[in-house]
Amino acid sequence: MEEKHLIFYPALFRIAKRSVTSKQNKKRINTSWRGFRRIMITIREKIRTHYAQLTKQQKKVAEHLLENPELFINNTASSVGEQIGVSETTIIRFCYALEYSGFSQLQKEVFAEQLRNEKNTLTHHQETAKRFKNDEHFFSEVVKESLARIEGMLGTISETAFEKVLQSISKSKKVLTVGLRSSYAPAHWLAFSLRMLCEDAQVYNQNTDDIIQLSSGMDKQWVLIAFSFKRYSKETLDIVRIAKNKGAYIVAITDDVLAPVSQNADIVLQVPSTDSSTLDVTPPLFVLLHAIVAGMSVIDSEQVRQRILEYEHNFEIYRTIMEE
């Protein structure tokens, strides 16, 4: 694993490395760090590393593994192949391609990884924060950690990809943002902000909106921005498939280019997170959303100016009515 990826992992080892001064302690910390890095070479990372060399059928297996790991835990290789529409031989060759000795070893690692991922996200976040508890510069350390993740995002989102997203929004007649559970907040914020800049922007609310009714008006002039992070919501994936079938332009904002939502996306904006916590994604995610809003205000500067003037005019009318 390359050293540049270390910024995405918990701060414990970076702080430990900075604070250790003796050669003996340095050796101990470095040994622990090497062990930690071996553990963190996840199945997802193995797939990412070998993905370009996989056959079309093996890529299909990889996508099913990422979307439904329980299928691989609870079934034999032949049963998995039958359920996803490939041969048992393809399953076995997929295991070899990922440098496993066979399906049994892959199955054991998938099971072990699922156990690790069962740790509650909030608990992990609290544990990470406790590592800074006795540091007199608690606030600055947390800020530095967030800045490191923000800088890391520069390595996963190109200017070209970002510009394509801005252009697709600018040319659209409607933007629909979709995010469920913890992803609803950023989806709502982006839709709210874009309403000042675009022709029409809306956030999907699963409690009040009917996706069948919404999709009836979808076409190639729609842009759907889907937020999908670990423990990926099946409903989000279903909405993306519906929108794709209607011809909408799909922008996926996710933590991995191999995430299930990426399969139907026209463009993917990757906001990396740690394996154990999706809360860590919040700082870079909102920086990305701010950049999108800022970019739109530059692209359509005159339209934005007119909309702001109209908004301020309406606000004055509203205030006058409320003061009567």
Q: List where CATH 1.10.10.10 sits in the chain.
A: 3-148
Q: What confidence score (pLDDT) does residue 231 get?
A: 76
Q: What confidence score (pLDDT) does residue 12 get?
A: 31
Q: What is the pTM of this model?
A: 0.64
Topology annotation, domain 151-313: Rossmann fold (3.40.50)
Phi-psi map region of 314: left, alpha, beta (phi>0 left; psi -120 to 50 alpha): alpha
What is the Cα–Cα distance from 276 to 120, expressed in whole angstroms?
8
Please give the angle made by the CA atoms of 300, 305 and 310, to the nearest 5 degrees: 125
Topology annotation, domain 3-148: Arc Repressor Mutant, subunit A (1.10.10)
| Residue ranges, the chain, pLDDT below 70 | 1-41, 116-135, 274-279
